[in-house]
Amino acid sequence: MDVLALLRSFYAKLDIKPVVPESRDDVKAEAEKEGYFFSVVVMDGGDAKVSFKGNEFVFTPVTSSPDDFTAYKKELCRKLYSVFKEDTGSELPWGMMNGVRPTKPAFIAALAGRGKSESDEYYRSEYLVTDEKADMSWDIARSELNVLSGCEHAESRCTGDKRGYAGGYSVYIGIPFCPSRCLYCSFTAYPLAAFKDGGDAYVDALIAEMKACAGIFHGNAPDSVYMGGGTPTALNAQQLDRIISVAEDVYFTNPAMEFTVEAGRADSITEDKLKVLKKHGISRISVNPQTFNQKTLDLIGRKATAAETVEAFKLARSLGFDNINMDIILGLPGEGIDEVKHTCEVIEELKPDSLTVHSLALKRASFLGEWIEKNGHSAFTNTDEIQALARNCAASIGLEPYYLYRQKDMSGGFENIGYALPGKECLYNVVMMEEVQSILGFGAGTISKKVVPAASNTGTPEKDMDLGELIRLGDALHMDISRCENFKEVGDYINRLPELIERKKELFG
């Protein structure tokens, strides 16, 4: 975690803006000006002069030097963490961890056969993570390994590699359209109404891309397929049928494999679309309310009413879908204990098979950034008590946590966590989040990843290796990861498709 991220985490409701002078002399001059909330100047010899809310102190490194920038920054942040904790009277649930994958250390530890106590100690000592989050990380890691244990491929059987998931791959199909854009959204998504052909040109390009890349994995079927967005069901039934039919023909999918479609917003869900998904044996769908409070839905731009979301869920159930996920967001503007409690009560009545609980991420690329500038941060509430409401809601209908991730600028410093009934977990979520399997990404804004065992790391991790070193090396995973991205703009994606296809073939060649 860098200093600015640490400041913004502790003082989330302040508008903290960085000032980066061009030279060291400029740093000193800027730091000496009155009125700065915080400043730090690294002096000759390695000491740092810190000014914070009008008070000054000198930080003297004990185990690092400015020449080792990474170690120096971490040591400085540890000191600042204690200062900010004392000033605010609070601590960050995830301490100094600010990456997307906070469960990665626990996952590596569990994969390497290390115990929970060693994992917990690493979280506490290295990142100042709370006991609750260290425990949660270990539980999630064990759940992820259990989900992954169902993957087995001929390649892994031949090599004796027990990690069958590493021998397979998954497919992501991106649909960058929505009925309208939500206040908080920063994803690649466009109102479908803006495209005169109703998205047909995009569907044509998407199908062409899938067909052109058919030979990358030599006809082997993927472990999972995930169609996300955007909102895939923003497309019409015929378009959905075309895409899924090609995915089946090219990638040998069948009802026995995991195939998720984010139906998402109730204003895009119709009986004819659900029947198309059912015809193709889609095993998992999402019907995402985000909240069941109508006032909030109106504010964030969700066109479907709370009642319509309930009806969409019941319609999917009546058509035989037995693995339905719901997403909710904690920390939405104007929502407190009572509002979240109401949302949880509706979820408990509906009993989805999985529940993904998001903490609001205050993304500058979303319309929410403009809303914050106008209304301030005081409208956002996300507390331990609110988190507990969602956690208890999931437990009350038998859902258990199985994957977790974080984003930058999350309200309350919390996380996004997926809960599911045993056996209803989403494999794609796990392989994507832990980066343990190659992913073919099709469509605008998608990312393809090539994940392979590193040739130099084929043995069992040394049992006497320090866990911190093991985690830094990633030795327990034995993975090399490379990526290529598709263009985000729909026009660029369509017009430059041959270039993207060649890029993907080079990646996996």
The answer to which of 382-386, 395-399, 441-445 has the lowest mean pLDDT is 382-386
Task: Domains for the chain: give ranges and CATH numbers.
Answer: 3-88 (no CATH), 168-434 (3.20.20.70)
Q: What is the pLDDT of residue 160?
A: 39
Query: In terms of C-beta density within 10 A (0-12 exposed, 13-18 middle, 19 or more buried), how is residue 247 classed?
Result: buried
Structure confidence at residue 155 (pLDDT): 43
d(CA 509, CA 505): 6
Instruction: Count other C-beta atoms under 10 Å from residue 361's C-beta.
Output: 18
Residue 226 · residue 251 · CB < 8 Å: no
Place of tokens 């343990």: 436
Dihedral (CA of 359, 364, 367, 371) sign = positive
Q: How far apart are CA 486 and CA 443, in angstroms?
A: 7
Enter the DSSP assignment of 360.
P
Task: Give yes or no for residue 374 having a pLDDT over 90.
Answer: no
Out of 68-72, 305-309, 316-320, 448-452, which region has the weakest mean confidence (pLDDT)?
68-72
Residue pair 31/51 in contact by the 8 Å Cβ criterion:
yes
What pLDDT is attached to residue 255? 65
Give me 9's structure tokens.
């985490």
Residues 39-95: tens digit of each pLDDT: 888 888 889 889 888 788 999 988 888 788 888 888 999 999 999 999 999 899 899
The SS3 call for residue 362 is coil
Residue 40 tokens read as 């730090």
Instruction: Report the predicted TM-score, pTM, of the whole model to 2 decimal places.
Output: 0.87
Which pair of tokens denotes residue 445? 């804004």
Report how far residue 426's alpha carbon sits from residue 413's, in angstroms, rounded to the nearest whole number. 25
- List beta partners, residue 356: 327, 418
Which residues make Cβ contacts (< 8 Å) with residue 378, sequence separation at least 6? 13
CB atoms within 10 A of CB 186: 17
Amino acid at 334: G
